[in-house]
């Protein structure tokens, strides 16, 4: 349980995993994020920490603590003790569907802009609990005949100044597909 500093190349099997589930009310497949790699924000000084962190689990919502590498204040990291779709730094909460642009509203825009059905793209993966963000991005790229470069960086919340490479590439796909959001146009 806890968290550790992410070391590039350490071989994580995924940093953002999607649970692919069909919502019975409207028979639509949803990609529900379970985040294992995230930046940490210090509410005291307003800075993003210099490293990404790997979520190793929590106990009763407690993930871990660290001192800010800018101001030295203690940052307590907590979650909701289940699938990690949000994270709190002290009392400041970040929701990954918005921060990492995985909310179904963005995917609905992608469907409309590209005239495809993501239900058809992901139907065979429903119930599979190991579809990574990179795998989902690749499946969408194949379906629409587009490729991302992975060379762009995005800011989706002004408090978080860097995102993991796989998240940037995911957002690059959304941006190239014409998905609109005020922060998607703000390239770093």
**pLDDT, tens digit (0-9, with 9 covering 90-100), for 169-188:** 999 999 999 998 754 544 33
Token pair listed for 34: 């379970």
Higher-confidence residue of 27 and 65: namely 65
- Token pair 């590498």: residue: 69
- ∠154-40-67 over CA atoms, to 5°? 145
User: Alpha helix (H) ranges present in the chain?
Assistant: 96-99, 104-114, 118-122, 133-144, 165-176
Dist. CA 38–CA 53, nearest whole Å: 5
Q: How far is residue 105 from each of residues 9, 94, 117, 124, measured CA to CA in Å? A: 32, 17, 14, 21
- pLDDT above 90 coverage of the chain, percent: 61
Whether the per-residue pLDDT at 68 is higher than 70: the answer is yes
Dist. CA 2–CA 183, nearest whole Å: 31
Dist. CA 15–CA 140, nearest whole Å: 18
**Of residues 171, 173, 136, 137, the one with CA closest to residue 154:** 171
CB 2 within 8 A of CB 66: no
Whether the per-residue pLDDT at 83 is higher than 90: the answer is no
In sequence order, the 6+-apart residues with CB closer than 8 A to the CB of 61 are 78, 79, 80, 81
**Of residues 78, 52, 55, the one with CA closest to residue 2:** 55
User: Helix 165-176 to helix 104-114 angle, to the nearest 10 degrees?
Assistant: 40
Q: Which of 12-21, 39-48, 84-93 has the lowest mean pLDDT?
A: 12-21
Whether the per-residue pLDDT at 23 is higher than 60: the answer is yes
């Amino acid at each position: 349980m806890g968290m550790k500093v992410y070391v590039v190349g350490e071989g994580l099997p995924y940093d953002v995993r999607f649970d692919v589930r069909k919502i019975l009310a409207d028979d639509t497949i949803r990609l529900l994020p379970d985040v294992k790699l995230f930046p940490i924000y210090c509410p005291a000084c307003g800075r993003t920490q210099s490293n990404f962190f790997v979520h190793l689990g929590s106990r009763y919502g407690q993930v871990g603590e660290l001192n800010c590498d800018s101001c030295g204040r203690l940052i307590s990291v907590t979650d909701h003790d289940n699938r990690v779709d949000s994270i709190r730094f002290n009392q400041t909460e970040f929701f990954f569907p918005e921060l990492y642009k995985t909310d179904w509203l963005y995917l609905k825009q992608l469907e409309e802009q590209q005239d495809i059905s993501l239900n058809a793209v992901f139907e065979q993966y429903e119930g599979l609990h190991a579809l990574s963000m990179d795998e989902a991005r690749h499946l969408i790229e194949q379906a629409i005949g587009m490729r991302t470069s992975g060379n762009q960086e995005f800011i989706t919340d002004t408090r978080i100044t860097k995102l993991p490479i796989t998240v940037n590439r995911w957002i690059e796909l959304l941006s190239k597909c014409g998905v609109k959001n005020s922060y998607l146009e703000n390239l770093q």
